[in-house]
Structure 1
Amino acid sequence: MLSVYDGFFSGGARIVHSDVVLGLMEGGQHHRVLSIHGEVHREATRQRMEDDACYRSLTAAGAGVTSLGRVQGGGRIPATFNGPELAETARAMAGADVILSLKEQPLALLNQAGLPRRPVVVCLHRSDPENQGSSLADLKAAVADGTVAACVCCAESTRAAYEAAGIPSDLLHVIPNGVDLLRFRPDPARRLALRTDLGIDHPAPVVVYAARYDAMKNVPLFLRAAAAWLRRTPNGHVLMCGAGMTAANSELDADIRAALGHRHDRRRLHLLGVRRDMETVYAGADVVALTSTWGEAAPLCLIEGMMCGAVPVTTDVGDSAAIVAGRGIVTAPHPEVIARAWTTAVVDRAAYAPALAASRELFSRTRMIASYAALIDRLHAGSARPALQEPH
């Protein structure tokens, strides 16, 4: 198996995909990963491949991870590749039976003429195909020439959006996201450790927001809701995690000043940046919040937070409403409405606990990986079809 990434940087899709690769390796498959970019500059953060938690997990497990060495400054992947890049890609593809493309962006590379023919599974993790630059056109081209054998959609909203955009329905397979239930679980010791580390009183209510700094996440809306909630909750704390969620991000600083000004409440807003211990962050929280406006499909933060006992409060985007149904609260995209929902979630947290506990099997990593393995096995069994042979 070969997985192709556009790059290693903080985000739910890379976390899920890397976990799938690790799970398939645990089941006996051999995997390699090829990254188009070796370094990415985005969300006001320089993200080197070797520093990334997913890269470290994959290499520690024995997956070979290589890069074409490009540096991305936040733009789209260029449609042209040089000879050495194509030769490296051809070598990586030649040793694979099936190729997994992490989202559609790597198809700009995989569509290049002269590369080995292999069945490609495109793993889709968003619900806005029209908002991905040239990637939708690259996907349609790969479908038209028979390169794409299947598309894995992480959510029903993803399947519906790509079908509406013209991708044949028989290629679209929904495999919902799952998480490691041994890692993501309620844990009083982790809860106490996080609060002690941040100087938060044990009974104080805590809202966590785990997202990269991106327009689709609607960070200004979240901060206006945080300002309203902190104003009416004198002992409350808000944690912001993810790429760009640091004081070094001037755009975030401007958003915070616009929402909170110079009020003392800012001392209860904690900017944590990229964390490698999200199971501890979620265990220490009472609410996991999402305020995205578009693009989301099956937000990993909601699932991880719920499995650690935090009540999800989200805007209605992608499959979010279905994910939190009976387990949390869906709100209108209005700061005061969101702030009141956070308060309700904190007060009713114990009442939500049974539903959160009962949903653990539904969001299991084991279920997710078994579904990926079954699909890959079916594709591999049929990969000797003439259309998928090496070109003469």
Structure 2
Amino acid sequence: MLSVYEGFFSGGARIVHSDVVLGLQEGDQQHRVLSLHGEVHREATRQRMEDDACYRSLTAAGVGVTSLGRVFPASGDQATFTGPELADTARATADADVILSLKEQPLRLLNQAGLPRRPVVVCLHRSDPENQGAALDELKAGIADGRVVACVCCAESTRAAYEAAGIPAELLHVIPNGVDLLRFRPDAARRLALRASLDVPVGAPVVVFAARYDAMKNVPLFLRAAREWLEREPDAHVLMCGAGMTPTNPGLETDIKAAFGPQRSLVDRVHLLGVRHDMESVYAGADIVALTSAWGEAAPLCLVEGMMCGAVPVATDVGDSAAIVAGHGFLTPPDPAAIAWAWTEAAASRTDLAPALTAGRERFSRTRMIASYATLLDRVAAGAADRPVLPEPL
């Protein structure tokens, strides 16, 4: 199997996909990865492939990772590929039985004429195909050409959105995201250590916002809710982590000034943590995991990981968020005051909600997710991609 990535940069889709590759590698399948870009500059962060946690995990497990060496953003037509780049791609694809495309963006490479024809499975992780630029057209072109034989949707909202956008329903297979339940679990020691490292009192209510700095995440809404909450909860703390969630990001600093105005003392309880590789500790140290996204989300990984560590999810109604938090947390309108009140209620309800979170853990199992991927890929490799693959029951 060959997986093709747009690049190695912070984001839930790359974390999930890389974990799938690792899980399949642990079984009978052999996997390699080709990345279009070797370095990406986005979310006010320079992200080199070799520095990425997913890259390091894959290579440590023996998965070969190569790159075309591109840098994003770059001048010129990103849809035009040089002879050497196409030759490298041809060599990478020639030995593959099946190609996995991490989202539809790499199809601008895989659809190039003259490459070895291998069945392509596209892994879809958004619920807004209309916002993916030319990528949706590339997906339709790959289907029309017969290269794309199946699409994995990480959420029901993804399946519905792409079907509405014109993708044939029989190609859309729903495999919900899963996480490593041994890694993501409540842990009192991690909770204490994380809070001690940030000088957060043991009993203080804490909300974590794990997101890259992107318009779809609606960071200004989150910050306005944070101000409301910190004004009302004098002991509360807010953790912000992800690419661009650092004091060196001028866009984030502007957002903070706009949200908090002259009340800069409240900002002392907002911790900008940037990219973290110990999210299991960050979530274990929190009481609430927040999502304020305005569009695009499908099955937000932060909600699942946070819930599995004992944090109560509070989310806006985007993608499959309502189904994920049902019975485990709170859904809110995109209103700062309503979100802040929901955080207070979530912190107060954490103990009462813990049994439901525990009882629902297997629904979000990494083992279930990887087994479903393996079944689909085996069928594609055997030439039976038209046979339906049913999602696990929720």
TM-score range, shorter chain: over 0.9
> 2:93 aligns to what?
93
> 1:64 aligns to what?
64
Contact 1:190 1:283 in 2 (8 A): yes
1:247-258, aligned counterparts within 5 Å? 247-258=247-258
> Residues 341, 116 of structure 1: CA spacing in aligned structure 2 closer, same or farther, 3 A cutoff?
same
How far has the Cα of 1:29 moved from its partner? 1.0
Flag structure 1 segments of 5+ consecutive residues without an equivalent.
386-392
CA RMSD in angstroms comes to: 1.4
How far has the Cα of 1:28 moved from its partner? 2.1
Structure 1: how far apart are the matches of 2:59 and 2:111?
27
Which whole-Å deviations, capped at 9, do the CAs of 1:239-283 have from their partners, x for residues lacking one?
000000000000000000111124211000000000000000000
Structure 2: how far apart are the matches of 1:184 and 1:74?
37
Structure 2: how far apart are the matches of 1:73 and 1:377?
36
Structure 2: how far apart are the matches of 1:113 and 1:377?
26
How far has the Cα of 1:313 moved from its partner? 0.1
> 1:162 aligns to what?
162
Contact 1:77 1:105 in 2 (8 A): no
**Secondary structure of the structure 2 residue equivalent to 1:151:** strand
AA paired with 1:150? Answer: A
Structure 2: how far apart are the matches of 1:176 and 1:73?
31
> 1:370 aligns to what?
371
Which whole-Å deviations, capped at 9, do the CAs of 1:276-300 have from their partners, x for residues lacking one?
0000000000000000000000000
Structure 2: how far apart are the matches of 1:261 and 1:32?
49
> 1:219 aligns to what?
219
AA paired with 1:225? Answer: A
**Secondary structure of the structure 1 residue equivalent to 2:251:** helix
> 2:25 aligns to what?
25
1:375-390, aligned counterparts within 5 Å? 375-382=376-383
- Ranges of 4+ aligned residues in structure 1 off by more than 6 Å: 74-77
Using the size of structure 1 for normalisation, the TM-score is 0.97
**Percent identity over paired residues:** 77
Which whole-Å deviations, capped at 9, do the CAs of 1:363-391 have from their partners, x for residues lacking one?
00000000000000011111799xxxxxx
Contact 1:40 1:73 in 2 (8 A): yes
> Residues 257, 110 of structure 1: CA spacing in aligned structure 2 closer, same or farther, 3 A cutoff?
same
Structure 1: how far apart are the matches of 2:53 and 2:354?
30
Contact 1:290 1:314 in 2 (8 A): yes
Contact 1:228 1:335 in 2 (8 A): yes
> 1:47 aligns to what?
47
1:277 aligns with 2:275: no
Using the size of structure 2 for normalisation, the TM-score is 0.96
Contact 2:225 2:336 in 1 (8 A): yes
> Residues 344, 123 of structure 1: CA spacing in aligned structure 2 closer, same or farther, 3 A cutoff?
same
> 1:388 aligns to what?
none
AA paired with 1:163? Answer: E
Flag structure 2 segments of 5+ consecutive residues without an equivalent.
387-394
**Secondary structure of the structure 2 residue equivalent to 1:348:** helix
Contact 1:41 1:74 in 2 (8 A): no
How far has the Cα of 1:339 moved from its partner? 0.1
AA paired with 1:162? Answer: Y
Query: How many residues matched?
Result: 385
Contact 2:150 2:385 in 1 (8 A): no
> 2:231 aligns to what?
231
> 2:104 aligns to what?
104
Contact 2:49 2:55 in 1 (8 A): yes
> Residues 83, 183 of structure 1: CA spacing in aligned structure 2 closer, same or farther, 3 A cutoff?
same
Contact 1:119 1:383 in 2 (8 A): no
AA paired with 1:313? Answer: V
Which whole-Å deviations, capped at 9, do the CAs of 1:181-202 have from their partners, x for residues lacking one?
0000000000000000000000
Contact 1:107 1:139 in 2 (8 A): yes
Structure 1: how far apart are the matches of 2:198 and 2:274?
14
Contact 1:8 1:37 in 2 (8 A): yes
Structure 2: how far apart are the matches of 1:254 and 1:350?
36
**Secondary structure of the structure 1 residue equivalent to 2:23:** helix
> 2:391 aligns to what?
none
1:190-339, aligned counterparts within 5 Å? 190-263=190-263, 264-339=265-340
Structure 2: how far apart are the matches of 1:77 and 1:344?
50
